């Protein structure tokens, strides 16, 4: 059970830290951290979470990553569903805690978008469904390639969390304007439950696209391994 608990805690930390920075610090009137700050927050949650918990569970914190590693032959089938459940529960609990905290602000008028992901009218830059689908697939595929490469037994030991955290930071810098960046179905699910928008109706895309992208990335890396 330790590895399932580690995935729960790690995903809680990712959503609490990443989405929390978007909900609180990114909207603070005088000291807004902007896209760069939110991107760094997501990257730092994965970097610190992987260093703290990676030796217990592998530090997935993301259903798409678990599926991708399974396709890539790096993850046992028996653990796939328990990992995904642990990750989603951790994300929902983190979003619920954020929901409780945000209500304590003077003049609270509702959660609004609540750091959710979306396309069309819910996209920060009003990008279409096709644009959202494409960017989430491509970036999740690249994320899996980085993860599998950084954790390869031939890669320099001990540096994987840094590479993975920086990759997630870069991913957010690219795609926050398009979808508010998911590449993680659990992250998308947690906050969508508490948003006051149509985020739940668009949630399907942020399960389908990251998982498809993760599978593509895992297959590409397996091909690279064979060619090496």
Q: pLDDT tens digits for 103-158?
A: 999 888 899 999 999 999 999 999 999 999 999 999 999 999 999 999 999 999 89
147, with CB counted inside 10 A (0-12, 13-18, 19+), is buried
Residue holding tokens 């304007």?
Answer: 177
State the Cα–Cα distance between residues 78 and 110, nearest whole angstrom. Answer: 41
pTM over 0.85: yes
State the Cα–Cα distance between residues 149 and 164, nearest whole angstrom. Answer: 10
Percent of the chain with pLDDT over 70: 99
* DSSP letter, residue 121: G
Q: How far is CA 190 from the centre of its chain?
A: 11
CB 80 within 8 A of CB 26: no
Encoding tokens for residue 96?
A: 């619920």
Domain borders along the chain are 3-225
Q: How far is CA 81 from CA 88, 145, 165, 183, in A?
A: 11, 22, 24, 18
State the Cα–Cα distance between residues 99 and 97, nearest whole angstrom. Answer: 5
Q: pLDDT tens digits for 62-102?
A: 999 999 999 999 999 999 999 999 999 999 999 999 999 99
CB-facing half-sphere around the CA of 63: CA atoms within 13 A: 25
Q: In 10 A of CB 201, how many CB atoms?
A: 11
Q: For the structural domain made of 3-225, what CATH number should be given?
A: 1.20.1080.10
């Amino acid at each position: 059970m330790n590895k399932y608990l580690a995935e729960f805690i790690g995903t809680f930390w990712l959503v609490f830290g990443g989405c929390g920075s978007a909900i609180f610090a990114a909207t603070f009137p005088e000291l807004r951290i902007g896209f760069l700050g939110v991107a760094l927050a997501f990257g730092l949650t994965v970097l610190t979470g992987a260093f703290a918990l990676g030796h217990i569970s592998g530090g997935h914190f993301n259903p798409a990553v678990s599926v991708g590693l399974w396709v890539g032959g790096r993850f046992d089938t028996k653990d796939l569903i328990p990992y995904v459940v642990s990750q989603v529960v951790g994300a929902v609990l983190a979003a619920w805690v954020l929901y409780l905290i945000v209500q304590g602000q003077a003049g609270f008028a509702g959660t609004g978008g609540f750091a959710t992901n979306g396309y069309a009218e819910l996209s920060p830059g009003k990008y279409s469904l096709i644009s959202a689908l494409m960017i989430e697939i491509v970036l999740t595929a690249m994320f899996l390639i980085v993860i599998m490469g950084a954790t390869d037994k031939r890669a320099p030991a001990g540096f994987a969390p840094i590479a993975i955290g920086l990759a997630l930071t870069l991913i957010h810098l690219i795609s926050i304007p398009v979808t508010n960046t998911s590449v993680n179905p659990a992250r998308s699910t947690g906050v969508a439950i508490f948003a006051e928008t149509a985020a739940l109706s668009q949630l399907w895309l942020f399960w389908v696209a990251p998982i498809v992208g993760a599978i593509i990335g895992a297959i590409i890396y397996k091909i690279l391994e064979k060619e090496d």
